[in-house]
Structure 1
Amino acid sequence: MNATTRFNASPSNTSTLSRRAFVGIGGAAAASMLAGCSGSTSGGSGSKSMTFLNDSDVQDNPFGKAVEAFQKKSGITVEVQPVPSDYDTKFRTVLSGGKPPDLIKINDDYVKGMSATGALLDLNTYIKRDKLDTSHYPQELYDFPKQADGKHTAWVIAHSPRLIYYNVDAFKEAGLELPPTTWSSEGWTWDDFRSTAQKLTIKGKRFGGLIYLDTGFEQTFAINNGSPTGIFAGDGSSFTLSEPKAAEAIQWATDLTCKYHVQPAWGDLQSTNADLQLFTQGKLAMMFSQFSTLPYLAENVKDFTFDVAPPPAGPADQKTESSVITYAIPTKAENPDAAWELLKFLTSQEGGKFFVEGNMWLSMDDRALQYLSKPPAHVELFAEAVKHSTLPNQTNNTLGARQIYRPMLDDVYNCNKTAEQVLQTAKPRVDQSLKQQG
Structure 2
Amino acid sequence: MRRLKKWLGLGLSATLLTFLLAACSGDESSTESKNGKVNLNFWVFGSAGYDVLVEEYMKDNPDVNIKVNFTEMGDLHNNLFTSIAAGSGAPDLTMIEVSQVSKFLDAKDSFYNLYEYGAKDVQENYLDWVWNNAQTPDGEFMIGLPTDIGPTTMYYRTDVFEEAGLPTDPEEVAALAATWDDYHELAKTIKDKTGKNIVDGPELLFNALRDQSPEQYFNEKDELIIEDSPYVKEAYDYTTNLIQEGLVGQNGLWSPEWGAAMAEGSYGTLLAPSWMVANIKANAPDAGGKWSVTTMPEGAGNWGGSFIAIPKESKHPKEAYEFIEWLTTPEQQLKSFSNNGLFPSAPSVYTQDAFTGFTDDYFNDLPTANIFAKAAESVKPVYMGKHYPIVNAELVTALTNVAVNKADPQKEWEEAIKRIEAQLERQ
**TM-score normalised by the shorter chain: which range applies?**
0.7 to 0.9
Q: 2:60 aligns with which of 69, 73, 85?
A: 73
The one-letter code sitting in structure 1 at the alignment partner of 2:147 is I
Corresponding residue of 1:145: 134
Percent identity of paired positions between Structure 1 and Structure 2: 17
Query: How far did 1:94 drift?
Result: 2.3
**Which secondary structure does the structure 1 equivalent of 2:331 belong to?**
helix
1:381 aligns to 2:380 (yes or no): no
Matched with 1:232 is 218
Distance 1:270 1:403, change over 3 A: closer
Q: Which one is further off, 179-188 or 63-72?
A: 179-188
Q: Distance in 2 between matches of 1:175 and 1:204?
A: 10
SS in 2 for 1:49: strand
Q: Which runs of 5+ in 2 are unaligned?
A: 1-23, 25-30
Q: How far apart in 2 are the matches of 1:241 and 1:321?
A: 23
Root-mean-square deviation (CA), in Å?
3.3
Q: Which residue of 1 aligns with 2:331?
A: 350
Aligned residues: 381
2:217 aligned with 1:250: no
- Larger proportion of helix: 2
The amino acid that maps onto 2:269 is: M
- Between the aligned partners of 2:378 and 2:348, the Cα distance in structure 1 is 18
Contact kept in structure 1, 2:202 and 2:243, CA below 8 Å: no
2:297 to 300, 312, 317: 312
- Residues in 1 aligned to 2:393 and 2:181: alpha-carbon distance in whole angstroms: 32
SS at match of 1:388: coil
SS in 2 for 1:284: coil
- What is the CA deviation profile of residues 367-419 of structure 1, one whole-angstrom value per residue up to 9, with x for unaligned ones? 33343422231411101112221454232333344454443443233364444
**Alpha-carbon deviation of 1:434?**
4.6
Q: In the alignment, what sits opposite 2:121?
A: 132
What is the CA-CA distance between 1:91 and the residue it aligns to? Answer: 2.1
State the Cα distance separating 1:291 from its structure 2 match.
1.1
CA displacement 1:212-271 (0-9 Å, x = unmatched): 333xx54641465xx651232343211326754432321212333321x23212xx3356
* Maintained 8 Å contact 1:120/1:154: no
Which of 280, 298, 312 lines up with 1:297 in the alignment? 280
Answer whether contact 1:308 1:378 (CA < 8 A) is retained.
no
TM-score by structure 1 length?
Answer: 0.75
- Partner secondary structure for residue 77 of structure 1: strand
387-396 or 149-158, which moves further after superposition?
A: 387-396
Name the structure 2 match of 1:157: 147
TM-superposition CA deviations, 1:338-394 (whole Å, max 9, x none): 321222122112210122113522112223334342223141110111222145423
Q: Is the 8 A contact 2:126 2:345 kept in 1?
A: yes
For the structure 1 residues 338 and 73, does the alpha-carbon distance in structure 2 shift closer, same or farther, using more than 3 Å as the test?
A: same
Q: Distance in 1 between matches of 2:177 and 2:81?
A: 47
Structure 1 residues 27-426: aligned runs within 5 Å: 40-41=32-33, 48-56=38-46, 62-75=49-62, 76-84=64-72, 86-96=75-85, 97-117=87-107, 118-127=109-118, 132-149=121-138, 150-178=140-168, 181=171, 187-201=177-191, 206-210=196-200, 212-214=202-204, 217-218=205-206, 220-222=208-210, 224=212, 228-240=214-226, 243-259=229-245, 261-265=246-250, 268-269=251-252, 272=255, 274-298=257-281, 300-302=285-287, 304-313=289-298, 318-369=299-350, 370=352, 371-372=354-355, 373-375=358-360, 376=363, 377-379=366-368, 380-390=370-380, 392-414=382-404, 416-426=406-416
Is contact 1:404–1:430 with CA below 8 Å preserved after alignment? yes
Contact 2:294 2:371 in 1 (8 A): yes
Shift in Å at residue 64 of structure 1?
A: 2.7
TM, length-normalised to structure 2 = 0.77
CA contact (8 A) 2:359 2:367 kept: yes
* 1:120–1:196 CA distance, 2 compared to 1 (3 A): same
Alpha-carbon distance, 1:187 to partner: 4.9
1:392 and 1:436 mapped to 2: Cα distance?
A: 25
Rg (Cα) greater in structure: 2
Contact 2:125 / 2:329 at 8 angstroms: preserved in 1?
no
Contact kept, 8 Å, 1:53 with 1:101, in 2: the verdict is yes
